[in-house]
Structure 1
Amino acid sequence: MKTLADHLAQYAAYHRDRRNIASHFIGIPLIVYAVAALLSRPGLELAGLWLSPASAVALAAGLFYLRLDRLFGLVMALLLVLALWGGALLARQPTAVWLGVAVGTFVVGWVIQFVGHYYEGRKPAFVDDVTGLVVGPLFVVAELAFALGLRDDLARTVAGRAGPTR
């Protein structure tokens, strides 16, 4: 099984242009929220929790992140809970509002991603490896941590394997 450094370095290899990386800080959260909202129907409330297909996907993703790294996994789990909460709120709206906002957010998120990849001059990572879809949100969190001077050892490993940013 791949390590955290393996996943991040493989994903980072498709993301060396700073404009592309910056676009991911906007596009990926929009996409994660939209997917959480779209998968929040059908759902049911049980003991104060909204259970839906989004819950199952978030649980699987959260376990994946925790397996890779405990601290990043906890941060990702918290972010997934926030996305689920927001998605559940939107899913309880009338169908036209739910679909309009969720699909619109999804499309805008992907447009931002593709603009970033235009600057990069490379296709998105998930085209070659579908796990890029789950690694993308983790990449954003890792890049934020690296920018804050956290996990320098991991940052050096990822940059060493993926190459310098430009």
Structure 2
Amino acid sequence: MASLFRPTTVLMVQYAHYHRDRRNIATHCVGIPLIVFGIGVLLARWQWGAGPLNAAWLLWVASTLWYVSRGNAVLGGAVSLANGLLFAAAQGFADGSVAHWLGWGVGSFAVGWVLQFIGHYFEGRKPAFLDDLVGLLVGPMFVTGEALFALGWGTSLQAEIERSAGPTHIRSVEKPQAF
């Protein structure tokens, strides 16, 4: 397995090699936030003391330290903010009955993963994390990067991704490739 501590550009380029079909990117832009939200719901139930400290916020702090230490402060801060907003939205869903908590947590997580695999059908490639588990952390960074690129930020990073991984496209699925 490659190092966990590679720079943002290396991580984004590697992840992009598995994500060039625009339909795959679109499913990830919905699916990954659902997965992050679902993880936030599931982990928010494990709380210490009477305050707001729970396993979701501990994961958020750890992942934030990782994102902002990859060498791109803007993207690291933006993905940490996005994940923090999803975790904040998830907090209330951990309250109440076990069925409510599990329904929202597992349901969001599962729907997110179904969307991921639909996207990879269009891509014709297996998900990146099957070759490198760090892809599980890079997914939220990639989706945040795509949003920032759409807003005009990060043109040099986007150009490097396209130079290395190629431009986005719509792949013909008439002859689907096996994962």
TM-score, length of structure 1 as denominator length: 0.93
> How many residues in Structure 1 have an aligned counterpart in Structure 2?
164
Separation (CA, whole Å) in 2 of partners of 1:91 and 1:52: 11
Could you tell me which residue of structure 1 aligns to residue 121 of structure 2?
118
How many Å apart are 1:45 and its aligned residue?
Answer: 5.7
Could you tell me which residue of structure 1 aligns to residue 68 of structure 2?
66
Q: How does 1:46-85 map to 2 (within 5 A)?
A: 50-68=52-70, 69-85=72-88
Choose the corresponding residue for 2:22, options 9, 18, 22: 18
How many Å apart are 1:85 and its aligned residue?
Answer: 1.4
Residue identity over aligned pairs, in percent, reads 45
**1:138 aligned to 2:163?**
no
How many Å apart are 1:165 and its aligned residue?
Answer: 1.3
TM-score, length of structure 2 as denominator length: 0.87
Per residue, is there more helix in 1 or in 2?
1
For the residue of structure 2 that corresponds to 1:51, the secondary structure is coil
**1:96 aligned to 2:99?**
yes
Separation (CA, whole Å) in 2 of partners of 1:34 and 1:74: 21
Runs of 4 or more off by more than 3 Å in structure 1? 44-47
How many Å apart are 1:46 and its aligned residue?
Answer: 5.0
Show structure 1 runs of 5+ residues with no match. Answer: none
Separation (CA, whole Å) in 2 of partners of 1:56 and 1:30: 19
Choose the corresponding residue for 2:38, options 20, 34, 38: 34
Mean CA deviation greater in 13-22 or 73-82: 73-82
Separation (CA, whole Å) in 2 of partners of 1:165 and 1:79: 24
Separation (CA, whole Å) in 1 of partners of 2:57 and 2:145: 23
Separation (CA, whole Å) in 1 of partners of 2:114 and 2:32: 11
Asked if 1 retains the 8 angstrom alpha-carbon contact of 2:28 and 2:116, the reply is yes
